[in-house]
């Protein structure tokens, strides 16, 4: 069984006539699926349906029985970092919410922070970072707990070439 299966998913906006219509695919462990299209094509809407923010109006989403909410890592298009937390606590929050102990969360935070070059910013709050650095914090928080499924909406927006290439 696939980790995630979408069958004939639709979500339409009445006021704009936009959204998604009749989307179907399967995702297995290790799959890398890119959703591409022009601005306003419905990419973010699809990711919002996948992450449970919007319920599908039509169709069905099924997950493997072994999959749970903690197996999902989400980095939305619009920043969702906590502005009152410093960088380290922002990243650790992703691990803690996934059920990690504080010790495990610290270890995982240090590991992903090294990969994304964020350790030097640990004591800073997001408002003291550049847009690209804020984006790396958000992506780190989505990945810190090593999720089975990652939903990343424009994860390279604001990143320079080095980090854009290294992310994948």
pLDDT tens by residue, 75-134: 777 778 899 999 999 999 999 999 999 999 999 999 999 999 999 999 999 999 999 999
Q: How many other C-beta atoms are found inside a 10 Å radius of the C-beta of residue 139?
A: 23
Q: Do 77 and 138 have their domain in common?
A: yes
pLDDT of residue 76: 72
Query: 150: domain CATH number?
Result: 3.40.50.300
pTM of the model: 0.80
Residue at token pair 């109006």: 57
Q: Which domain holds residue 108?
A: 73-168
Q: Do 59 and 79 have their domain in common?
A: no
Residues 38-46, mean pLDDT to the nearest whole number: 89
Q: How far is CA 110 from CA 22, 32, 44, 92, 138, in A?
A: 41, 25, 30, 9, 15
Burial tier of 19 (Cβ tally within 10 Å: 0-12, 13-18, 19+): middle
Task: Report the DSSP beta bridge partners of residue 19.
Answer: 12
């Amino acid at each position: 069984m696939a980790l995630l299966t979408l069958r004939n998913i639709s979500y339409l906006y009445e006021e704009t006539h936009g959204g998604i219509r009749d989307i179907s695919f399967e995702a297995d462990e290790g799959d890398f699926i890119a959703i591409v299209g022009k601005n306003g094509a419905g990419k973010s809407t699809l990711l919002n349906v996948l992450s449970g923010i919007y319920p599908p109006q039509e169709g069905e989403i099924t997950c493997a029985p072994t999959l749970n909410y903690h197996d999902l890592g989400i980095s939305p298009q619009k920043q969702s970092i906590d502005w009152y937390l410093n960088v380290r606590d922002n990243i650790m929050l992703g691990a803690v919410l996934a059920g990690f102990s504080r010790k495990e969360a610290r270890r995982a935070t240090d590991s992903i922070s090294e990969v994304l070059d964020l350790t030097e910013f640990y004591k800073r709050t997001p408002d003291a970072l550049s847009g690209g650095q804020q984006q790396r914090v958000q992506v780190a928080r989505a990945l810190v707990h090593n999720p089975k499924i990652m939903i990343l909406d424009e994860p390279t927006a604001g990143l320079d070439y080095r980090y854009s290439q290294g992310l994948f």
